[in-house]
Amino acid sequence: MKLLNLKPGHSAIVSAINIDDPGLSRRLEAMGFTVGQEVKLLRKAWLKGPLHVRVGMTTEVAMRRHEAEGIELEMR
């Protein structure tokens, strides 16, 4: 399952990050998106807007949908 397809309020574990852009991949890793990390989708904005995601216990980020397409998850 991709992060983009996760429903608001649900949590999952990052299983892979499949992003071709090395700069974006490094930024995501710096924000805490690493294999084995828990993520929770807090909300999705209307009209294909950004996603509000909690990474780990305290980090919250807003990200574009095309960025979330490259993050693979496994359900807990």
Per the confidence metrics, is the pTM higher than 0.75? yes
User: What is the mean predicted confidence (pLDDT) over 71-75?
Assistant: 95
CATH number, domain of 56, equals: 2.30.30.90
Residue 67 — pLDDT band, cuts 50, 70, 90?
A: very high
Strand ranges across the sheet with 51-55:
59-63, 51-55, 38-44, 11-17, 71-75
pLDDT at 76: 73
SS3 content of the chain, % helix, strand, coil (to 5): 20, 40, 40
Written as six digits, the tokens of 52 are 């509000």
Q: In total, how many domains does the chain have?
A: 1
Distance CA 62, CA 76 (A): 22
Tens of pLDDT, residue by residue over 28-46, are 999 999 999 999 999 999 9
User: What is the mean predicted confidence (pLDDT) over 5-30?
Assistant: 94
Domain of residue 62 covers: 3-74
pLDDT at 16: 95
